[in-house]
Amino acid sequence: MLLNPINFYSPQTVSEALSLYSSLGECRLLAGGTFLLNSLKLLKKKGMKTVPNIISLRKIAELKGITTDPETLTIKSMTSITDLYNSPHLTDNFAILKKVCRNISTNLIRNMATVGGNLTSRYTWTELGAPLIALDTKMHFVGSNTKEEVTVEEFFNKGAKTNNLLTHLSIKRDKKCQLSYQRVKKLSEVDVPLLGACIRSTLTDERFQQTKVVINSGTVFAKRDIILEEFLNKSEIEESIASEALNHLDLSIYDTRSDDYKKSMFRVCIKNAILELVQRRKKL
Amino acid sequence: MILKINKKLVEVDLKGHETLLEVLRDQLGMTGTKTSCTESECGACTVIINQKAVLSCITLANSLEGDEITTIEGVSEGENLHPVQQSFLDHGAVQCGFCIPGMIMSSKALLDQNHRPTQEDIEYALDGNLCRCTGYLKIFDAIRAAGQKMEEQENKLNSVHLTQTNLINH
């Protein structure tokens, strides 16, 4: 057997899941399974003890689906990456998510992995982290007697730990802002996002405004480069800024363990992301 | 527990920690679905669940009550090969053959939704299925041809249905 024995639970509702979660003691929530089940297999291979109880969220209909209204996009936590990629609701600032989903792992994984699992499995390679921070995404959790709302940025800054159940994400529509996402693949086929950069800015004036720069290094959770944001917010929207911006990086947030290639590719990602925004400004 | 596999209801004895791959092969003797990496990297264990290609090595069988599971054994109709299977043979798309059940399942899931996939669509759908013989080009050709065949078969069926409807109306 690939896995150690487990007690398997498959609740049909969120309240049933919460009740199990609070009563079972040592247990894990199972979303798409693409991370958790592989982790459990690995632990078994190493002869290590694994969690005795698994609560699958797969059959909870209220945790699936994507809805939108003029102001907000709501993504339920058990929505698969494929369903998000295929959603007709990814317009305006939400459109960046389509590009991001396209690059997540493989089709077989995208069909199984969920948005909620991607964010809460404490897997630093989560591809959605950087764009969701740039989009000011809020995460909505429920516990037995509590409700909690935090931004993805706050969640990651606190180590992506929670004892509650993520029900959905909400993102405000912003027709004025533009987003660019650039990433480097480790391999052309099976890959993880070795590194990526997402930049959001409002380009309606001569200067970058309300800019957010979020870096995903793969080895730590996605983080904002505040120094670069401040530099860009003082800068005019022109091509020369893309090179100049590289002298204004907050080097403390980039992965210092990375080799020269990786450091260089970060710079390429950031430069290309800025250039993409400059090009887009020209078309406005 | 009852699973619906290849349109048949099958009773299986589950303790909770069995992957679908293990249940198919070890309990049900359906060895067409291959065991290879067992860590979601290679696609040899691909099956279709509710019309989507997924990895049976990271799917707990216990979580599949009420779902439609299709394995490579359920693709042909008796001795009549599915157009995807026939096309793989016609195009010499099979080398060692180990990856082929997974390739067929991912191809079928794609072509069931889209008979005329672009090269990009095919690469998108098959990016999780690895062929160590690197026979991808013939596989891509086979998929395109199978899509055409499926479209022809569907058109033929539709025209028969239309003729029958006209006859009934008259």
Boundary-marking domain end, from A172, A203, A222: A172
Domain residue spans in chain B? 1-74, 76-170
**Can you count the helices (H) and strands (E) in chain B?**
5, 5
| pLDDT for the residue B169 | 77
User: Which of B39, B41, B60 has the CB atom closest to A8's CB atom?
Assistant: B60
B128: nearest CB among A2, A10, A106: A106
Cβ-nearest to A58 among B15, B63, B125: B63
Instruction: Write out chain A residues lying below 8 Å of B129, CB-based.
Output: 108
For residue A167, the domain's CATH number is 3.30.465.10
| pLDDT (0 to 100) of residue A186 | 57
Mutate to test the interface with B, among A8, A81, A102, A108 (most CBs of B within 10 A): A108
**DSSP single-letter state for residue A62:** G
pTM: predicted TM-score of the whole model, two decimal places: 0.94
Residue A143 lies in a domain: yes
Residues A149 and A52 both lie in one domain: no
- B139 contact partners, CB below 8 Å, separation of at least 6: B88, B91, B93, B103, B107, B126, B131
Share of chain B above pLDDT 70, in %: 99
Q: Hey, what CATH class is B76-170 in?
A: mainly alpha
Task: Work out the pLDDT band at B14, boundaries 50, 70, 90.
Answer: very high
Q: How many CB pairs under 8 A join A and B?
A: 89
Intra-chain end-to-end CA distance of chain A, in Å: 58
CA distance A165 to chain B (A): 19
**A183-186, Cβ contacts within 8 angstroms, sequence gap of 24 or more:** A183/A103, A183/A127, A183/A216, A183/A269, A184/A265, A184/A268, A184/A269, A185/A103
3-state DSSP assignment of residue B27? helix
Helix (H, G, I), strand (E, B) or coil at B32: coil
The model's confidence at residue B76, banded by pLDDT at 50, 70 and 90, is: very high
Question: Do residues A181 and A120 share a domain?
Answer: no
Alpha-carbon gap, residue A254 to A266, rounded angstroms: 8
Residues A259 and A224 in one domain: yes
B123-167: per-residue pLDDT in tens?
A: 999 999 999 998 999 999 999 999 999 999 999 988 887 787 777
DSSP secondary structure code for residue A261 in this structure: H
**Containing structural domain, residue A81:** 64-172
pLDDT band at residue B87 using 50, 70 and 90 as cut-offs:
very high
Measure the CA angle with vertex A219, ends A216 and A225; round to 5°. 35
- Amino acid identity for residue B78 in this structure: G
**Can you give the pLDDT at residue A10?**
97
Token digits of residue A176 = 């004025």
Amino acid at position A8, single letter? F
- A124, A200: one domain: no
* Structure confidence at residue B159 (pLDDT): 85
Contact between chains at B58 and A56 (C-beta distance less than 8 A): no
Q: Is residue A151 classed as helix, strand or coil in its secondary structure?
A: strand
Q: In what order do the strands lie in the sheet with A223-224?
A: A177-185, A193-202, A209-216, A223-224
Contact assignment for B16 to A190 by CB distance below 8 Å: no
The CATH number of the domain holding residue A25 is 3.30.43
- Domain shared by A167 and A192, yes or no: no
CA distance B102 to B143: 13
Which residues lie across from B3 on neighbouring strands? B10
Task: Enumerate the residues of chain A whose CB falls inside 8 A of the CB of residue B39.
Answer: 38, 41-42
pLDDT of residue A192: 56
Q: Write out chain A residues lying below 8 Å of B63, CB-based.
A: 8, 10, 30, 33, 56, 58-59
Residue A214's pLDDT is what? 96
Q: Is residue A2 in a domain?
A: no
Identify the segments of chain A with pLDDT beneath 70: 185-194, 255-259
Q: Is A272 on the interface with B (CB under 8 A)?
A: no
- State ipTM: 0.94
Which domain-ending residue is among A172, A197, A215? A172
Q: Is A111 on the interface with B (CB under 8 A)?
A: yes
Q: What is the mean pLDDT of residues B100-104?
A: 98
CATH architecture of B1-74: Roll (3.10)
A103 reaches B (C-beta below 8 A): no
Query: Are B127 and A56 inside 8 Å of each other by CB?
Result: no
Tell me phi and psi for residue A157, to 5 degrees.
Answer: -60, -25
> Does residue A195 sit in the same domain as residue A247?
yes
Question: What is the DSSP pairing of strand B68-70 with strand B2-5?
Answer: parallel
Of the candidates A8, A56, A107, the beta carbon closest to that of B127 is on A107
How far is residue B81's CA from residue B72's CA, in Å, rounded to a whole number? Answer: 11
Total domains, chain A: 3
Sheet strands (E) in chain A: 7-9, 27-30, 53-56, 66-68, 72-76, 138-142, 147-151, 165-172, 177-185, 193-202, 209-216, 223-224
Distance, in Å, from the CA atom of B31 to the CA atom of B24, rounded to the nearest integer, reads 7
Supply the pLDDT for residue A183: 87
pLDDT of residue A266: 85
Q: What is the pLDDT of residue A122?
A: 86
> For residue A59, which residues of chain B lie inside 8 Å, CB to CB?
63, 65
Beta bridge pairs of residue A263:
none
Tell me what pLDDT residue A194 has: 66
Q: Tell me: the pLDDT tens digits for B16-74? A: 999 999 999 999 999 999 999 999 999 999 999 999 999 999 999 999 999 999 999 99
Residue A1 placed within a domain = no
Where do runs of H (alpha helix) occur along A24-151? 36-45, 81-85, 96-102, 107-112, 115-120, 129-134
